[in-house]
Amino acid sequence: MTVRKNVADLLTEGAQRLGTRRASETSATAALDAALLLAHALATTRARLLACAEAPVACADVRRYQVLLERRAGGEPLAYLTGRREFWSLDLAVTPDVLIPRPETELLVERALALQGSAAASVADLGTGSGAVALALASERPQWRIVATDLSAAALAVARGNAARLGLEVEFRHGDWFAPLADERFDLLVSNPPYVASDDAALGALACEPRAALTPGADALQSLRTLAQGAPRHLLSRGWLLLEHGADQGAQVRQALVLAGFGYVRSHRDLAGHERMTEGQHGQI
Ligand code: GLN
């Protein structure tokens, strides 16, 4: 007779499976990843799982879990396996069509909220991906008019789905950077563009994510410069441009903003202490 495995057995097995793949990268999160994957396979939450550690698990569910474990062990990001990632306390759906939202991108949201206060405002999020930044702003400032653009129609479908599920109001438009804005001007322009050079070894570890969301090509600063140069024509007087960038790109992005005529140009550090975003005000030299 085969003995049915229970939740606790499967969690232990899963943590071992993930803990032994590339020790440096996953061992710290192996137990957590295993629990999240088992919860996903059983269509439940981690909290409910942990509350019924002795419960036997059906064979079909065990198999589903084992497939997820193998994919995770092969390097697929957890967020693509569960189809979910939390950003700014919002539960976002993510697929391989969108970059997985990173915690450091919350800095863009924080600065946008701080610079604009709570008055009515218009905002455009350029290259919105999953919609993370635009939706976080919509959740905090329902009185703002928020437009979000992306070159990828597949990404926009994910973002639209997130807006609908969360009941948040964002106007999504398809096209390259400023093109979908026509000649409209905004109080705030925000963007987390691709900023990793195409020959950067770091891209190897990000191979499951859309390449176009990560790298603009050989010149890591290309999209950031395009955004800095194009922004003045889409900002109202005293409007702000906020750009996320790589940890070592602060000085170059500040220079691009100054060259484009921005004032009050300054960078902010993420929680890891890296310069992660730069802002500047239009018409304030
Ligand atoms: N922050 C991401 C990473 O390096 C890159 C995101 C981006 O290029 N916008 O993992």
**Of ligand 1's atoms, which has the minimum distance to the CA of residue 102?**
1
Domain assignment of residue 235, given as a range: 95-281
Burial zone of 47 (CB within 10 Å; 0-12 exposed, 13-18 middle, 19+ buried): exposed
How far, in Å, from the CA of 44 to the mean position of ligand 1?
30
As for how many domains the chain has, the answer is: 2
Q: Kindly state whether residues 20 and 125 are assigned to the same domain.
A: no
How far, in Å, from the CA of 120 to the mean position of ligand 1?
30
Q: Kindly state whether residues 149 and 208 are assigned to the same domain.
A: yes
CATH of the domain at 42: 1.10.8
Q: Kindly state whether residues 101 and 65 are assigned to the same domain.
A: no
Give, rounded to a whole angstrom, the gap between the first and last alpha carbons of the chain. Answer: 79
Name the average pLDDT for the chain: 94
Q: Kindly state whether residues 100 and 69 are assigned to the same domain.
A: no
**In contact, 5 and 53? CB cutoff 8 Å:** no
- Residue 87 forms part of a structural domain: no
Average pLDDT over residues 170-177: 98
Q: Phi-psi region for residue 183, left (φ > 0), alpha (ψ -120 to 50) or beta?
A: alpha
**pLDDT tens-digit readout, 198-251:** 999 999 989 999 999 999 999 999 999 999 999 999 999 999 999 999 999 999
**Beta-sheet pairing, 262-269 with 171-174:** unpaired
**Beta-sheet pairing, 90-93 with 122-126:** unpaired
pTM: 0.93
Q: Whose CA is nearest to atom 9 of ligand 1?
A: 194
214 in contact with ligand 1, CB cutoff 6 A: yes
Q: Kindly state whether residues 234 and 275 are assigned to the same domain.
A: yes
135 in contact with ligand 1, CB cutoff 6 A: no
Q: Kindly state whether residues 71 and 99 are assigned to the same domain.
A: no
> Residue 163 pLDDT > 60, yes or no?
yes
Q: Kindly state whether residues 219 and 144 are assigned to the same domain.
A: yes
Q: Whose CA is nearest to atom 5 of ligand 1?
A: 214
Give the phi and the psi of residue 168 in degrees, each rounded to 5: -110, 150
- Residue of 87, 128, 192 with the most ligand 1 atoms within 8 Å of its CB, for mutation: 192
CATH of the domain at 233: 3.40.50.150
> Residue 160 pLDDT > 80, yes or no?
yes
194 in contact with ligand 1, CB cutoff 6 A: yes
203 in contact with ligand 1, CB cutoff 6 A: no
Q: Whose CA is nearest to atom 6 of ligand 1?
A: 214
Q: How confident is the model at residue 118 (pLDDT cuts 50, 70, 90)?
A: confident
Nearest to 32 by CA among 46, 21, 45, 20: 46
How far, in Å, from the CA of 203 to the mean position of ligand 1?
9
Q: How confident is the model at residue 24 (pLDDT cuts 50, 70, 90)?
A: very low
Q: Kindly state whether residues 147 and 187 are assigned to the same domain.
A: yes
Predicted confidence at residue 258, as pLDDT, reads 97
Q: Kindly state whether residues 52 and 150 are assigned to the same domain.
A: no
Q: Kindly state whether residues 63 and 103 are assigned to the same domain.
A: no
Q: How confident is the model at residue 185 (pLDDT cuts 50, 70, 90)?
A: very high
- Residue of 98, 195, 219 with the most ligand 1 atoms within 8 Å of its CB, for mutation: 195
- Residue 57 forms part of a structural domain: yes
Q: Kindly state whether residues 66 and 107 are assigned to the same domain.
A: no
- Residue 86 forms part of a structural domain: no
- Residue 90 forms part of a structural domain: no
Q: CA 109, CA 113: separation in Å to the nearest integer?
A: 6
Predicted confidence at residue 2, as pLDDT, reads 65
How far, in Å, from the CA of 245 to the mean position of ligand 1?
8
